[in-house]
Structure 1
Amino acid sequence: MTLRKRMTELLERGWFTLRQVSQELGIREREALEHLEHVARSARGSTPLRVEHARCIQCGFVFRKRSRLSPPSRCPRCKSERVEPPRFTLSRPEGS
């Protein structure tokens, strides 16, 4: 089974951070990010990639407008580096 197929099956099971995906698949985070971007483009029709946005642990700022899938390094509001990374899943939103 290909790496992207394994990633797709993993993301269909629930919410995962980029680090969790890379650990589950046994690859580096940078490599997982590249595959995740491809999976996001491929999965637009049937079951789109859903993103739970990163947020600042210090002030609660939510990175809603961020288009990149990689975690931000620091908060633009309070400059804290304590940022909860985004989480991803492949599933339809509830109620659709």
Structure 2
Amino acid sequence: MEVPESPLVPACRVGATPDQLRREAERAVLYGACLLLLRPDARIKPELRAAVAALLPAVRAYCQGQDSPLARHAAAYADACGARAFLEQKAALYRQRSGSGEEL
């Protein structure tokens, strides 16, 4: 039995639409910004670093509970990529750690 060549696209992305792939990439940036906020020494994939760094101030403002354009940008970004619940979860964790004096 001949084994078919593996596609260049990971199996989990076969059949994904360009819109789904874009949203996945945007979620990766949001996840990276949340990760860096909670663990500043975390390693971020090189291809995501610039985008994560650009979004980080907005995510920080949101997690700090600010009512600012930056915080609203983070919320809108999370809504656009379908990750608002994730952002809310990380904001709650950030606030919990900030209130307990735990190092962020």
Q: TM-score, normalised by structure 1?
A: 0.31
Q: TM-score, normalised by structure 2?
A: 0.30
If each structure's strand is expressed as a fraction of its own residues, which one has the higher value?
A: 1
If each structure's helix is expressed as a fraction of its own residues, which one has the higher value?
A: 2
